[in-house]
């Protein structure tokens, strides 16, 4: 048996495409560039197949769909036909699911970035910065952030499912009394200021939708930054 060591397998960047299907490998890669390309694939896969993010988005869709059904039933049969106690409990369950899955996604993403890149990495810094930006620019993000904290320590603020004035909305409003909400001491100063500026009775559904938009911006900024942080050599750049 020969004592010569085997050559390491060569690496390449390629794709499958065309008709008929063909495998294209335009350039060979050195090991460092192969690992960088693999990192990109891992990041893209995590972004496009993230089950926690998909679950959170699904929880929002489910909550909104429930509110649409309630609005439709109330237009046809009114409050008595709904059994409002059980309906409110169902809506509360949907809201709790949405709030919980958002927090789980945030904590899981932070843990992943710190584990992969380090606590003081630019990826973690970007993630934290994106959260701060969402907090500063999305009133709904601030409200839901505060609502999670309120739910962790006190009871949920009472809400009603009355229609506003004589409107017949497509999505059932969840109405909260401003003064009742402000009586809770757990709100942070900025969120308390936001609530104080609300009408006497306000709908939290638009705030929930705005919170999701803010969370989406965190998702996009963090993912784009993670992809942009991968440094390529010239061979891989030309292949891309």
pLDDT tens digit sequence for 60-69: 999 999 998 8
Please give the mean pLDDT across all residues of the chain: 81
* Predicted structure pTM score: 0.78
Cβ neighbours, 10 Å, residue 193: 11
Percent of the chain with pLDDT over 70: 73
Report pLDDT digits (tens) over 158-194. Answer: 666 665 545 666 888 888 889 988 988 889 899 999 9
Report pLDDT digits (tens) over 35-51. Answer: 777 777 777 777 777 89
Q: Name every residue whose Cβ is closer than 8 Å to that of residue 174 and which is 6 or more positions away in sequence.
A: 67, 91, 95, 159, 160, 161, 203, 204, 205
**CB 115 within 8 Å of CB 124:** no
Task: Tell me the C-alpha to C-alpha distance, in Å, between residue 238 and each of 17, 26, 27, 144, 233.
Answer: 19, 10, 9, 45, 9
Cβ neighbours, 10 Å, residue 130: 21
Residue with tokens 């999305």: 138
d(CA 146, CA 156): 11
Query: Is the pLDDT reported for residue 135 higher than 70?
Result: yes
Look at residue 165 in the predicted model and tell me its pLDDT: 47
**In 65-101, which positions are buried (b, 16+ CB within 10 angstroms) versus exposed (e)?**
ebbeebbeebeeeeeeebeeeebbeebeebbebbbeb
Enumerate the domain spans of the chain. 31-229
């Amino acid at each position: 048996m020969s004592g010569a060591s085997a050559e390491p397998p060569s690496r390449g960047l390629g794709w499958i495409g065309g008709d008929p299907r063909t495998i294209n490998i335009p350039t060979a890669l050195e090991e460092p560039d192969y690992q960088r390309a693999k990192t990109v694939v891992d990041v893209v896969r995590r972004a496009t197949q993230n089950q926690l993010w998909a679950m959170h988005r699904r929880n929002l869709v489910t909550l909104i769909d429930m509110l649409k059904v309630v609005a439709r039933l109330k237009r046809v049969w009114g409050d008595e036909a709904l059994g409002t106690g059980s309906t409110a409990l169902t809506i509360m369950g949907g809201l709790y699911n949405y709030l919980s899955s958002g927090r789980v996604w945030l904590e899981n993403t932070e843990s992943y970035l710190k584990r992969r890149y380090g606590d003081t990495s630019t990826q973690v810094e970007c993630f934290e910065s994106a959260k701060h930006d969402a907090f500063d620019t999305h009133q709904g993000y601030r409200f839901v952030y505060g609502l999670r904290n309120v739910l962790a320590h006190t009871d949920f603020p009472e809400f009603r499912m009355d229609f506003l004035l004589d409107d017949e909305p497509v999505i059932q409003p969840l109405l909260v009394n401003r003064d009742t909400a402000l009586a809770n001491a757990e709100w942070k100063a900025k969120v308390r200021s936001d609530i104080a500026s609300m009408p006497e009775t306000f709908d939290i559904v638009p705030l929930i939708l705005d919170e999701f938009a803010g969370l989406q911006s965190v998702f996009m900024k963090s993912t784009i930054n993670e992809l942009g942080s991968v440094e390529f050599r010239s061979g891989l750049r030309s292949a891309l």
